[in-house]
């Protein structure tokens, strides 16, 4: 936002500009242009631009928080003898000292006041409750040769002093700048390991003339701060708990993290008696700097000196901030990369698990004379615990079709593992295929030890279509209803009789025996279908499935068409709501015109 201008022709310029440093620089440039138009000499233009900049910077830096939105006003008057500047600020104000010597090299402030007093003839500061006014007056050169000569000498002395100070600061900063360049170069090459962090923290300790440091990093859940680097290996620091319960006053590191600002300690404001940093000593000077990257807590760096009266200079603090914040960015990037690699690894493992699970399902369903079958299975996640199998039995004891559907409690890899174990036991006990009740009892005894150990269970349903006796034999272990439909029988629900597998080792499962109707239509389901929910939270329920079956019979749908229409019914009902459970179904139809031999 550019300063707004109001002026009197030829003599007065008033600028009103926002309370920020960029606006101060623009205001100083406009004042210089104005004074140049008034015939002010080039040497004086440099002095006045510096005066305006220093006065404006102080007005911005010390403005009260509640007054940041108020503009700063500055006015310059030009006469043939003098130039006068008035700057109104909204700071708490200060008492102008009678004398302003050049500050020490390590001092963090005072140079601006020294420069303004040295470059002007008169400096006053008026304080008031509403705002304050800084008044700077300086005579114009060219009025008196003697005065001009004296002014030139004073200005030359000031410039030489300022140049000397800047030269000393640059020389002192050479080592720091060199370290920062090497540090950032190594960061760009991917450094962020424990050895890298420790080495560069020790480098920082030397550059900043510190005596000790301790770096803590947040854990994955951001509940603790654990030591990652420390200058003394003989000290032991327990993790700091970021959850409620640990008092903030007990740790300046916690105070820095919670307040999101540096927390200083020295002789005037020492650390608390129980603060972990007191392991370095009780007479300390330093600060704790919180490390945040994009509002995410990475850690906190505490650094200091053993002498409580030797605080860091502004330049040293800036270097510490630079190192700590750059290091925080690299650590966060390393964490993101590590998380990405872990995610890719888990994703790949899940893809393999899903491929293995798909291989457990029948690659091709049998097509015995007079029967048609269709199956469908979809996991809510990449892998799940649903399973179905169809095995055509042709031996001396039994001739028919074994139909099995199962649902392992839970989802994901553990459920998929037990589905694979279930299938393995099923195929090992195939000799019992014609006796669903005994087969279910044997499966329960085989699975019980493993399921009980992890507190899981399996619901299952076994149906044997006996072609020799023209019967349907059914056993169920806590599974959802089996639906059987025929023109002469209507739609029947065969509910679960036994409890799920893995609950009771001694459980004996009974079986139901029904005559096989000529126009058979049979549907085996898992609860992922009947417990599907709409976006409004309504359950799909068994009645909707029975209505689907009635429509399927009326249309005389094939097994494949029936299966596809039931899956579409579930998807339409759920709409955009995510599936909460795996969905598996098996549909069997019998063609009455084909006789079984």
Residue linked to tokens 């008035």: 86
What confidence category does residue 172 fall into, taking pLDDT thresholds of 50, 70 and 90?
Answer: very low
Q: What is the mean pLDDT of residues 332-361?
A: 72
361-590 CATH = 3.60.40.10
CATH architecture of 4-143: 2-Layer Sandwich (3.30)
On the CB side of 546, CA atoms within 13 Å amount to 12
Band (183; pLDDT cuts 50, 70, 90):
low
| Same fold yes or no, 4-143 and 361-590 | no
- What is residue 107's predicted lDDT score, i.e. its pLDDT? 56
Tokens of 587: 């549909």
The sign of the torsion formed by the CA atoms of 447, 448, 449, 453 equals positive
Predicted pLDDT of residue 192: 56
- Cα distance between residue 454 and residue 448, in whole Å: 10
108 vs 286, more confident: 286
Mean pLDDT in the chain? Answer: 81
pLDDT tens, residue by residue, 265-323: 988 888 888 899 999 988 899 999 999 988 889 999 999 999 877 778 877 888 888 88
pLDDT of residue 191: 54
CA distances from 557 to 36, 279, 486 (A): 96, 81, 13
Share of the chain above pLDDT 90, in %: 26
Which 8-state DSSP code applies to residue 271?
Answer: P
Spatial distance between the Cα atoms of 57 and 109, rounded to a whole number of angstroms? 12
State the pTM of this model.
Answer: 0.49
Query: Which run of H or E residues covers position 102?
Result: none
| pLDDT greater than 50 at residue 6 | no
Cβ atoms within 10 A of the Cβ of 350, count? 17
Dihedral over alpha carbons 547, 553, 557, 563 (to 10 degrees): 40
Average pLDDT, integer, range 119-131: 82
Q: What is residue 177's three-state secondary structure? A: helix
DSSP H helical ranges for 406-526:
412-428, 436-453
Tokens read off for 154: 């004073």
Instruction: Give the distance from CA 320 to its chain's centroid.
Output: 26
Instruction: Give the model's pLDDT for residue 597.
Output: 43
Domain boundaries, the chain: 4-143, 187-337, 361-590
Q: Does residue 186 carry a pLDDT above 70? A: no
Q: Can you name the CATH fold of 187-337?
A: Beta-Lactamase (3.30.450)
Band (105; pLDDT cuts 50, 70, 90) = low
What is the crossing angle of helices 111-119 and 145-188, to 10°?
Answer: 150
User: What's the pLDDT score for residue 353?
Assistant: 67
Quickly state the pLDDT bin for 145 (edges 50, 70, 90).
very low
Q: Is the pLDDT of residue 144 over 50?
A: no
């Amino acid at each position: 936002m550019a300063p707004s201008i109001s002026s009197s022709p030829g003599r007065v310029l008033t600028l009103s500009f926002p309370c920020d440093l960029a606006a101060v620089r623009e205001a100083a440039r406009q004042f210089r242009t104005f004074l140049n138009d008034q015939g002010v000499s080039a040497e004086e233009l440099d002095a006045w631009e510096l005066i305006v900049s220093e006065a404006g910077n102080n007005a911005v830096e010390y403005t009260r928080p509640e007054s940041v939105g108020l503009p700063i006003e500055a006015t310059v008057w030009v006469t043939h003898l003098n130039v006068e500047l008035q700057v109104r600020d909204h700071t708490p104000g200060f008492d102008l000292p009678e004398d302003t010597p050049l500050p020490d090299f390590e001092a963090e402030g005072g140079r601006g006041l020294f420069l303004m007093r040295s470059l002007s003839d008169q400096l006053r500061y008026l304080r008031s409750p509403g705002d304050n006014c800084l008044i700077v007056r300086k005579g114009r050169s060219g009025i008196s040769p003697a005065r001009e000569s004296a002014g030139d000498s004073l200005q030359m002395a000031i410039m030489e002093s300022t140049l000397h100070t800047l030269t000393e600061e640059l020389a002192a900063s050479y080592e720091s700048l060199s370290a920062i360049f090497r540090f950032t170069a190594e960061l760009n090459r991917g450094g962020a390991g424990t050895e890298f962090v420790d080495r560069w923290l020790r480098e920082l300790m030397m550059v900043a003339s510190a005596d000790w440091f301790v770096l803590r990093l947040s854990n994955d859940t951001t509940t603790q701060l654990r030591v990652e680097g420390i200058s003394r290996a003989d000290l032991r620091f327990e993790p700091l708990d970021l959850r409620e319960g640990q008092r903030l006053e007990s740790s300046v590191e916690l105070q820095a993290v919670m307040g999101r600002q540096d927390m200083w300690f020295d002789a005037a404001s020492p650390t608390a008696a129980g603060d972990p940093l007191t392991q370095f000593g009780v007479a300390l000077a330093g600060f704790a700097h919180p490390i945040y990257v994009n509002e995410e807590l990475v850690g906190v760096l505490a650094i200091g000196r053993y002498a409580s009266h030797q605080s860091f200079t502004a330049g040293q603090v800036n270097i510490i901030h630079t190192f700590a914040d750059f290091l925080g960015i690299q650590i966060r990037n390393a964490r993101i990369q590590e998380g990405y690699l872990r995610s890719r690894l888990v994703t790949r493992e899940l893809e393999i698990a899903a491929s293995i699970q798909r291989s457990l399902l029948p690659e091709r369903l049998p097509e015995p004379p007079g029967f048609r079958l269709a199956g469908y299975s979809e996991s809510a996640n990449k892998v799940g615990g649903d399973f179905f199998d169809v095995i055509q039995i042709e031996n001396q004891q039994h001739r028919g079709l074994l139909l099995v559907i199962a649902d392992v409690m839970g989802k994901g890899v553990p459920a998929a593992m037990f589905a694979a174990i279930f299938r393995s036991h099923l195929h090992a006990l195939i000799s019992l295929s014609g006796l669903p009740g005994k087969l279910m009892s044997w499966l329960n005894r085989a699975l019980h030890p493993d399921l009980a150990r992890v507190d899981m269970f399996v619901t299952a349903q076994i149906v044997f279509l006996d072609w020799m006796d023209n019967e349907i034999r059914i056993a169920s272990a806590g599974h959802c209803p089996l639906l059987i439909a025929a023109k002469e029988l209507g739609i029947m629900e065969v509910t679960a009789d036994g409890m799920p597998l893995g609950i009771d080792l001694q459980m004996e499962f009974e079986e139901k025996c029904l005559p096989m109707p000529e126009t058979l239509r049979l549907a085996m389901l898992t609860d992922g279908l009947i417990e599907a929910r709409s976006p409004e939270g309504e359950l799909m329920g068994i009645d909707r499935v029975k209505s689907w079956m009635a429509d399927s019979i009326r249309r005389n749908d094939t097994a494949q068409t029936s299966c596809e229409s039931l899956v579409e019914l579930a998807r339409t009902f759920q709409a955009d709501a995510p599936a909460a459970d795996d969905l598996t179904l098996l549909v069997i139809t019998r063609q009455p015109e084909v006789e079984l031999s």
